[in-house]
């Protein structure tokens, strides 16, 4: 048997696990060999003997010798992941799929719309972009969560807002006493932006309902269909364009996506579920 | 096309010798079914060369039901005899998927490389056979190493690949004179083809099927889905269905296990959404995949007309009845 085995994971040492919210934890890992990926690509994470699931890293794509992944407890594999402690070894296959074509964002207003645990992959995108901040006209971040305590990466937002090219807007569905920012669905943040929408690019990542209404609002505001980037969540097993689980019309989302422009997928069935 | 002729007796001797190097698999007849069996010395005489299609599709040799794709193992060399043209045609799609240069599946590759495939002429067929509906002929024309025609106590062996030619040479055949396929073989091929065309005259071709399947037609799918129990037999037995699930074992080993969109939750995501939640959507999905999406992705339909899904369905759902009705 010769050549690289596409099914065999690389080994990543789990250094520590941090709790972001009752259902969400971040896993800090060190790969056995430096690991190269583009922001927007995903990896398959194996818990030994338990199962495998796809995630987009939440750390910068510039960093090759460390990786962070933020995971919400949602099923059997993620439940087992949440039980893990530092010192364990995880398997990683990938990177898979197409990432964001950052060259196309250069010189433009970039709107980043995210909600819930969808903020995790967007953290990777933002950290990667901010490394070369001056290449973008301005980065408008519109994040939403159910309640203020549901925001992940609470300590990160101050850093983020301090960047000169960043505009950070946040909203919650339900505010509590201390909340001074917006209350309401995440699309209300879009209405606050002072941007030439026709020239802007937008990235949307979050729960299906938010992706749908966020995208529709962006289009209404004038963002071009080919400038709206969506990261699609599908059932996945192989990540290789073979097992069929992620099929969406004439795409294998794992290989042809997971990032698509709205233009590329608008005629496909079931894009919002 | 030129071939070498050998007597049945010579061929049996060749197989006896080959057993020391190769595992041999060939159709052996049971009362009502025919399937591949591993051939031992004793079974060489029981090989059924004029069988209808074996129950198991050829894909099972290259993409087994379960295969550990992390723990290394070497495939021992094999000969597979008696493969019908519909199964050979399916290799086009499987190769595109598993030998994709971006992500080469070295297990599939190894299984392919260590196998010598003998295609065969079909001179008999059953009610479900409909290769001709999609422009295929019921005899080997591609994707095998050697084509085999059986007539009047002789075999006519046509090499299709270097591997096939080399095998015949080693067996001492490829040095004898080559001949054209005899006219009685040509005649049998023609009459089988004619018979199939007659049997299948009402089945729309791939393009017409696409148009029919693309229609909404919810009522039609619901009607047929009423008899479907999501057992997945249609997909398991299909020579082109390639879906699988990776199942984890200790030490980061993974088992590549056949899976199908006919099973509930095949597309369900962690958050619970499932585009194929309804059974009739799953049933329809298999047809959309074969006649709409695969042509868009790979330039070919993913049905070779083998008819196995019709034979296998315990709900007696007939693929061609659905298609004929959808195209009305
Ligand atoms: S469908 Fe055609 S090629 Fe396949 S077994 Fe039947 S007659 Fe032979
Ligand atoms: S769909 Fe049915 S007839 Fe077509 S190749 Fe598959 S099993 Fe054979
Ligand atoms: S996850 Fe297997 S084909 Fe996409």
Place of tokens 């057993």: B19
CA of B233 from ligand 1 middle (Å) equals 19
B216, closest residue in chain A (CA to CA): A269
Residue B222's CB: how many other CB atoms inside 10 A?
15
- Residues of chain B short of pLDDT 70, as ranges, are none
- Residues A180, A151 share a domain: yes
CA of B223 from ligand 1 middle (Å) equals 29
Residue B180: strand pairing partners: B2
- The residues in A 211-270 lying below 8 A from B, measured between CB atoms, are 233-235, 237-238, 240-247, 249-252, 255, 269-270
CA of B238 from ligand 2 middle (Å) equals 5
CA gap B219, B150 in Å, rounded: 47
* Pairwise CB contact (< 8 Å): B275 & A244: no
In degrees, rounded to 5, the angle at the alpha carbon of residue A230 between the alpha carbons of residues A129 and A256 is 100
- Supply the range of the domain harboring residue A58: 10-96
- Residues A207, A154 share a domain: yes
- Residues A162, A220 share a domain: yes
* Pairwise CB contact (< 8 Å): A242 & B110: no
CA gap B196, B159 in Å, rounded: 26
Task: Note whether residue A261 is domain-resident.
Answer: no
Task: Note whether residue A182 is domain-resident.
Answer: yes
Instruction: Tell me which chain A residues have a C-beta less than 8 angstroms from the C-beta of B248.
Output: 46-52
B259, closest residue in chain A (CA to CA): A243
Q: How many CB pairs under 8 A join A and B?
A: 124
* Pairwise CB contact (< 8 Å): B106 & A5: yes
pLDDT digits (tens, 9 = 90+) for A146-165: 999 999 998 999 999 999 99
Is the pLDDT score of A9 beyond 80? yes
Task: Note whether residue A159 is domain-resident.
Answer: yes
Q: Which atom of ligand 3 is nearest to the CA of A246?
A: 4
* Pairwise CB contact (< 8 Å): A250 & B297: yes
Residue A2 has a pLDDT of 61
Interface test with A, best of B113, B241, B254 (most A CBs within 10 A): B254
- Residues A112, A217 share a domain: yes
Task: Note whether residue A239 is domain-resident.
Answer: no
Place of tokens 């995971």: A71
B114, closest residue in chain A (CA to CA): A1
Residue B295 has a pLDDT of 98
pLDDT digits (tens, 9 = 90+) for B44-64: 999 999 989 999 999 999 999
Ligand 1: which residues within 6 Å by Cβ? B 53, 84-86, 122, 125, 129, 131, 138, 196, 305-307
Which DSSP helix (H) or strand (E) runs through A43?
strand A42-47
We report the CATH number of the domain holding residue A219 as 3.40.50.80
Distance from CA of A134 to the nearest CA of B (A): 34
Residue B4: C-alpha distances to residues A16, B15, B73, B85, B283 (Å):
68, 16, 35, 20, 46
Task: Note whether residue A164 is domain-resident.
Answer: yes
Going by pLDDT thresholds of 50, 70 and 90, the confidence category of residue A1 is: low
Of residues B104, B270, B271, nearest to A6 (C-beta): B104
Q: CB-based contact (8 Å) between A50 and chain B? A: yes
- Residues A126, A35 share a domain: no
- Residues A118, A47 share a domain: no
Of residues B72, B103, B292, nearest to A1 (C-beta): B72
Contact A70, A25 (CB under 8 A): yes
Residue B140 has a pLDDT of 98
Which DSSP helix (H) or strand (E) runs through A211?
helix A208-221
Going by pLDDT thresholds of 50, 70 and 90, the confidence category of residue A27 is: very high
Domain count, chain A: 2
- Residues A47, A131 share a domain: no
Burial of B307 (0-12, 13-18, 19+ CB in 10 A): buried
- Residues A17, A115 share a domain: no
Task: Note whether residue A132 is domain-resident.
Answer: yes
Helix B206-214 / helix B319-326 crossing angle, nearest 10 deg: 70
B293 secondary structure, DSSP code: I
pTM: 0.95
End of a domain among A96, A124, A150?
A96
We report the CATH number of the domain holding residue A53 as 2.40.30.10
Residue A88 has a pLDDT of 96
Task: Note whether residue A216 is domain-resident.
Answer: yes
End of a domain among A81, A96, A111?
A96
- Residues A116, A90 share a domain: no
Helices (H), B99-215: 106-113, 162-170, 183-199, 206-214
B99, closest residue in chain A (CA to CA): A242
- Residues A157, A85 share a domain: no
Q: What residue owns the CA closest to ligand 3's atom 3?
A: A241
CA gap B274, B277 in Å, rounded: 5
Task: Note whether residue A206 is domain-resident.
Answer: yes
Residue A271 has a pLDDT of 84
Instruction: Tell me which chain B residues have a C-beta less than 8 angstroms from the C-beta of A207.
Output: 271
Residue B41: C-alpha distances to residues B20, B23, B75 (Å):
10, 11, 21
Closest ligand, as measured to the CA of B195? 1
Of B154, B146, B164, the C-alpha closest to B188 is B154
- Residues A139, A76 share a domain: no
* Pairwise CB contact (< 8 Å): B103 & A52: no
ipTM above 0.85, yes or no: yes
**Beta strands at B78-83 and B115-120: parallel, antiparallel or unpaired:** parallel
For residue B41, give both structure tokens.
């010395």
Q: What is the mean pLDDT of residues A228-249?
A: 96
End of a domain among A70, A96, A122?
A96
């Amino acid at each position: 048997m010769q050549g690289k085995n596409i099914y065999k994971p690389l080994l990543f040492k789990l250094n520590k696990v941090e709790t972001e919210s009752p259902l969400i934890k971040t896993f800090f890992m060190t790969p056995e060999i430096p690991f190269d990926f583009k922001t927007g690509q995903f990896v398959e994470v194996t818990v030994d003997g338990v199962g495998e699931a796809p995630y987009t890293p939440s750390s910068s794509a510039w960093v090759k010798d460390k990786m962070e992944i933020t995971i919400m407890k949602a099923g059997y594999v993620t439940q087992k992941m949440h039980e893990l402690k530092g010192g364990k070894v995880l398997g990683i296959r990938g990177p898979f799929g197409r990432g964001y074509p950052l060259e196309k964002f250069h010189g433009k207003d970039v709107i980043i719309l995210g909600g819930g645990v969808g903020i995790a992959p967007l953290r990777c995108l933002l950290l990667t972009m901010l490394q070369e901040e001056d290449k973008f006209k301005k980065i408008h971040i519109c994040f939403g969560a159910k309640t203020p305590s549901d925001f992940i990466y609470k300590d990160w937002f101050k850093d983020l807002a301090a960047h000169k090219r960043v505009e950070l807007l946040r909203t919650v569905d339900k505010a509590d006493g201390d909340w001074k920012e917006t209350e309401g669905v995440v699309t209300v943040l879009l209405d606050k932006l002072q941007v030439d929408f026709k020239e802007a690019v937008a990235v949307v990542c979050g729960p299906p309902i938010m992706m749908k209404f966020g995208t529709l609002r962006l289009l209404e505001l004038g963002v071009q269909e080919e400038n709206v980037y969506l990261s699609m969540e599908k059932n996945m097993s192989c990540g290789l364009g073979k097992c069929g689980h992620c099929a969406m019309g004439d795409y294998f989302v794992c290989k042809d996506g997971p990032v698509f422009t709205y233009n590329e997928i608008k005629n496909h069935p079931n894009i919002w579920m | 096309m030129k071939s070498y002729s050998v007597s049945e007796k010579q061929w049996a001797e060749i197989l006896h010798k080959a057993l020391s190097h190769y595992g041999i698999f060939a159709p052996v007849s049971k009362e009502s079914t025919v399937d591949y069996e591993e051939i031992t010395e004793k079974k060489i005489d029981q090989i059924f060369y004029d069988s209808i299609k074996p129950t198991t599709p050829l894909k099972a040799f290259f993409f087994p039901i379960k295969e550990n794709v992390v723990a290394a193992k070497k495939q021992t060399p094999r000969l597979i005899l008696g493969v019908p043209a519909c199964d050979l045609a399916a290799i086009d799609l499987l190769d595109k998927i598993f030998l994709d240069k971006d992500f080469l599946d070295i297990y599939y590759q190894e299984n392919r490389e260590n196998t010598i495939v003998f295609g065969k002429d079909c001179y008999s067929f059953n009610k479900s056979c409909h290769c001709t509906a999609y422009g295929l002929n019921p005899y080997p024309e591609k994707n095998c190493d050697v084509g085999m025609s059986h007539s009047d106590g002789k075999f006519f062996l046509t090499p299709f690949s270097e591997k096939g030619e080399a095998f015949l040479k080693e067996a001492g055949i490829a040095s004898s004179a080559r001949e054209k396929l005899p006219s009685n073989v040509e005649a049998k091929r023609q009459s089988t083809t004619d018979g199939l065309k007659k049997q299948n005259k009402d089945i729309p071709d791939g393009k017409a099927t696409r148009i029919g399947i693309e229609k909404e037609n919810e009522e039609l799918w619901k009607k047929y889905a009423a008899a479907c129990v999501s057992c997945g037999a249609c997909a398991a037995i299909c020579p082109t269905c390639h879906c699988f699930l990776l199942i984890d074992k200790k030490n980061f080993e993974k088992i590549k296990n056949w899976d199908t969109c006919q099973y509930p939750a095949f597309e369900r995501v962690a958050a619970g959404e499932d585009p194929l939640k309804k059974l009739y959507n799953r049933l329809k999905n298999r047809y959309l995949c074969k006649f709409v999406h695969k042509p868009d992705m790979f330039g070919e339909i993913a049905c070779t007309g083998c008819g196995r899904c019709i034979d296998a369905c315990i709900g007696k759902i007939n693929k061609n009845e659905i298609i004929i009705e959808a195209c009305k």
